[in-house]
Structure 1
Amino acid sequence: MPLGPSSSAIHVQSNAPGSTPNTIRVPTSVTVHPVALFSILDHYLRRTDAQDRVIGTLLGTRTETEVEVRSSFAVLHSETSEQVAVDMEYHRTMYELHHKVNPKEVIVGWYSTGSNLNTYSALIQNFYSQETAPHQAIHLAVNTGVEEGEQAGVKAYVSSPVGVFPKPENCVFVPVPVELRFHDAERSGIDLLTTTASASNSTSNQPVSDLEIMEQSIQTVLQMLDRVLGYVQAVLAGEKKGDTAIGRYLMDTLGASTDDLEKSGFNASLQDTLMISYLANLVRSQAEVASRLALAAAS
């Protein structure tokens, strides 16, 4: 369905989205999960050569002050110099199918690739605002970083009408703080994708086991402790100027366990950790011995 041509869309930089006039239930923060972000990037990679950007629907949960984007799906659309057309029937059909699988997730807004906010963006925003009423629709602008001079990143906006007699194509896009967040269960998948992307060959690695994840976590903690210890020693030796903010943070972090240290709680926790590490190495050794015996028997 064509949304029509237009006059103007305004993009302003503001750090106070809650102060936007004539808006209701404006969220103060937006959280995006990796599943939604990967789906957007996959949609962008599969676009046709004639498409400058792609758009789609954002799904998730929301409160009065926070929006959590958990997933997304692509929406067919076309843009010309005269009009923009969005397949609304496809959008509603896809949402009905998704709602049957995830009934807790609702429409929270829409996404587009690129950083250009124009009149057509305002028209699409107006359509999604009707879908999310009485809440504000979130617009997620994903910059893929393929254009020269632009860095990859994610920005979120809400809109507010302007003018004495506001029109759908006349609005102000107001930035909202956005954060990329993932659950602990998603960490292993993200680490696997990161390792594969940085590998010299393009072949994917096998998913890591729980023991390897624990080993990597312990190594990461050890590296962070070495960095903190090196910084403290450099400050004490006069090689670096101490930062009061870092000092307070370290005091709050380490000082919270003072009672446990006096009661030997830290030693007990350390023994538990060492026992887990010992058992993990023992299980790994038994698995290697079993696999070698199986190979010897097969040969």
Structure 2
Amino acid sequence: MSLGASSSAVHINAPGAQRLPVAVRLDATAVFTILDHHLRKRDNQKRVIGTLMGIRTESDVQVRSAFAVLHSETADQVAIDEEYFQNMLEVTQKVQTREQIVGWYSTGSELNNFSALFQNYYAQQTGPHQAIHLLVDTGDRTKEFGIKAYLGSPMGVSAKPDNCVFVPVPVTLRQADGERPGLNLLRTASEEPNHTTPVLTDLQNLERSLLDVISMIDRVQNYVQSVIDGDIQGDPAIGRFLLDTLNTTTEGLEKGKLESLFNIHVQDTLMVSYLANLVRSQAEVSSRLTLVT
């Protein structure tokens, strides 16, 4: 049934021939760029935006890198530095020939009317594919560093680009063990007033890791106790995972052996820290002797 011109019904335009990704895989390299861009923003800026580069498959989008985009945003209007965008895109594609524009990112905790305009702009850049939007909440310490992924589609009585509904899609952060401390460091700096944070020593990192492990154990204990008390219904998959974890971590460890291994690890950490300080002191003495002679 067709709607007349006077109808007040609201409809959402389906993407049609556009290919919809099922999920988004986000590399840590792109997150480094986004957090660094946020740390360098001006004091009067509410958020920063940038372009996501990556590779598309039939089922998902892999975001491999990103670059910042200069923009101005007031209560009445918004503008993108088109020349800067094109120059950065050209340089990026020269270095990463396989990557293409897959969407855009912004920092903050919410979407607004201007987000629909940005979405429409990047939809023109991605051609027949849907543009991905990553919303990075730098003040959220929840799962995946407060990162949410969206797809956009025009909506309204007569659908317009500046009227857009954002539909969430699953996003997975891919990070190696060596990249996690760097992300945590940038994240901590983004929450400080002057955007700086000291680099922790090995012992301080060990202490923080132990506190995180204790917090995780407390959450698991609270969950198990709630299931036993009947407050919540237990999930068999979680139960099997906990059982496998306990069998893996305690297998072959006799009573007192775990404590002995931990003490040995602490001693190794102290020795490495001592040697590092000794080498640093020797290098400082050598440089001063060179200046004297």
What TM-score results when the alignment is normalised by the length of structure 2? Answer: 0.62
Per-residue CA shift, 1:162-214, capped at 9, x if unaligned?
A: 689976x36543312254735122211233345567789986322544x7656
1:288 aligns with 2:274: yes
Report the equivalent of 1:4: none
Report the equivalent of 1:187: 180
1:23-102 aligned within 5 A:
23-32=17-26, 33=28, 34-42=31-39, 45-46=41-42, 49=44, 54-78=48-72, 85-102=79-96
Q: Determine the C-alpha separation between the residues in 2 that align with 1:52 and 1:159.
A: 22
Number of residue pairs the alignment of both structures matches: 263
1:140 aligns with 2:134: yes
Q: Determine the C-alpha separation between the residues in 2 that align with 1:126 and 1:294.
A: 54
Deviation, structure 1 residue 129: 2.1
Q: Secondary structure of the residue that 1:185 maps to in structure 2?
A: coil
Report the equivalent of 2:290: none
Contiguous gaps of at least 5 residues in structure 2: 1-9, 140-144, 286-293
Cα 1:27/1:203, change in 2 over 3 Å:
closer
Deviation, structure 1 residue 20: 3.3
Q: Determine the C-alpha separation between the residues in 2 that align with 1:248 and 1:285.
A: 42
Residue 125 of structure 1 contacts residue 137 of structure 1 at CA under 8 Å; is this kept in 2? yes
Q: Which of 95, 102, 112 matches 1:108? A: 102
Per-residue CA shift, 1:227-246, capped at 9, x if unaligned?
A: 5457656876xxx4353325
**What amino acid is the match of 1:87?**
D
Q: Determine the C-alpha separation between the residues in 2 that align with 1:177 and 1:26.
A: 10
Deviation, structure 1 residue 252: 3.7
Deviation, structure 1 residue 136: 1.0
1:104-253 aligned within 5 A:
104-112=98-106, 115-118=110-113, 121-141=115-135, 155-161=148-154, 169=161, 172-179=164-171, 181=173, 183=175, 184-193=177-186, 204-209=197-202, 213=205, 216-217=208-209, 220-225=212-217, 228-229=220-221, 232=224, 240-241=229-230, 243-245=232-234, 249-253=238-242
Q: Determine the C-alpha separation between the residues in 2 that align with 1:287 and 1:276.
A: 17
Q: Determine the C-alpha separation between the residues in 2 that align with 1:223 and 1:255.
A: 20
Q: Determine the C-alpha separation between the residues in 2 that align with 1:290 and 1:21.
A: 58
**What amino acid is the match of 1:41?**
H
CA RMSD of aligned residues (A): 5.0
Deviation, structure 1 residue 61: 3.2
State the identity %: 37
Q: Determine the C-alpha separation between the residues in 2 that align with 1:59 and 1:174.
A: 20
Cα 1:208/1:179, change in 2 over 3 Å:
farther
Q: Name the stretch that deviates more: 240-249 or 183-192.
A: 240-249
Q: Determine the C-alpha separation between the residues in 2 that align with 1:206 and 1:185.
A: 15
Cα 1:266/1:96, change in 2 over 3 Å:
farther
Per-residue CA shift, 1:5-32, capped at 9, x if unaligned?
A: xxxxxx99x9xxxx93524211233355
Q: Determine the C-alpha separation between the residues in 2 that align with 1:174 and 1:125.
A: 9
**What amino acid is the match of 1:102?**
Q
Deviation, structure 1 residue 275: 4.3
Residue 52 of structure 2 contacts residue 66 of structure 2 at CA under 8 Å; is this kept in 1? yes
